[in-house]
Amino acid sequence: VIRWKAMGQLVDGQWKVGWYDPDARGAFNRPKAQFRSWVGKDGFEVEPGRYHLYVSYACPWAHRTLITRAMRGLEDAIGVTTVDPKMGDDGWSFGGDGERDPLFDSTFLRELYVRAAPRYTGRVTVPVLWDKKTNTIVNNESRDIMRMLDTVFDPLAKGASLAPPELRAKIDAVLD
């Protein structure tokens, strides 16, 4: 079995290198996202300009949130920052081929995770839906973010829904 040492993770708010350990077949096991709040619930109201999406063009999960944002016409309502597509031992960074962090001038995405939860333990992943009003991560699960962009942000959207109510059960079955 090949043992990989790539990226890292936060452990009690401190960065540790070498989190990736594939299973016996060498497969990557993707842990569940820990930030799972919802806009429209949990105290997060729909407001233009309140939310910011952090993504990487190298991540297919983050990429699909960008597609949803664009197809719903939410570019003016929700800002986006891309991290450098080359992820190293220090995780996702700003600068390089990516943009600078416009909210806090952070060097690494992990700084936002610690800002949201100072003792956070877990992976630092994209996409991240950030609430600028409360300075926290709303959600870091791409499927949830896509659904919020498609449903909750409907009052701000310019494009048609990608998951009409009558098709959501079928769509969810395919995604599952």
Cβ-based neighbours of 65, under 8 Å, separated by 6 or more: 53, 55, 127, 129, 142, 145, 146, 149
Around Cβ 65, how many Cβ atoms within 10 Å? 28
Catalytic residue list contains 59: yes
The strand pairing partners of 11, in sequence order, are 14
The candidate with the shortest Cα–Cα distance to 84, out of 113, 57, 110, is 57
Catalytic hit among 59, 62, 137, 157: 59
Q: Which residues are catalytic?
A: 59
